[in-house]
Amino acid sequence: MCGLLDYPLLLLLVYVLYRAIASPAHRLGHELGRARQRLPRLLPVLANLIVVAPLLLDAAASVRERELPHRSALTEIRSVLGSVGLLLLISVLWLGWDQRRFVLAEL
């Protein structure tokens, strides 16, 4: 696969699986509906983490992959991207828990 298409294809796969599982005709759809009623704050957080987790895991793996010289531009860029990834994780948790909104709905 191409590197640029990995994440969008993964999002499409997750969306298709969700639509197939969450339909009211399936038993899992009823269970998901009850889980939405019982745990209204937890479900958006989990859904947002599923969307953002591949990006964060890929960034963490690339940071551990190789060592760079101490004061190079790539080291600085990786540091900034790590900080942005942490801010993304915090915003996703806040959006799901406090606002009860989904990341994909915001896009």
What residue ranges do the domains of the chain occupy?
1-38, 40-107
8 membership: H or E segment, kind and range: helix 6-21
Report which DSSP code applies to 99.
Answer: S
CB 22 within 8 A of CB 32: yes
Question: Full-prediction pTM beyond 0.85?
Answer: no
Cα distance between residue 26 and residue 74, in whole Å: 49
Angle at 1 between CA 9 and CA 82, to 5 degrees: 70
Q: Which of the pair, 1 or 32, is modelled with greater confidence?
A: 32
Whole-angstrom Cα Rg for the chain: 17
Cα distance between residue 48 and residue 51, in whole Å: 5
Longest dimension (CA), the chain: 58
Q: What is the pLDDT of residues 2-47, one digit of tens each?
A: 567 777 888 888 888 877 877 777 787 788 778 878 888 888 888 8
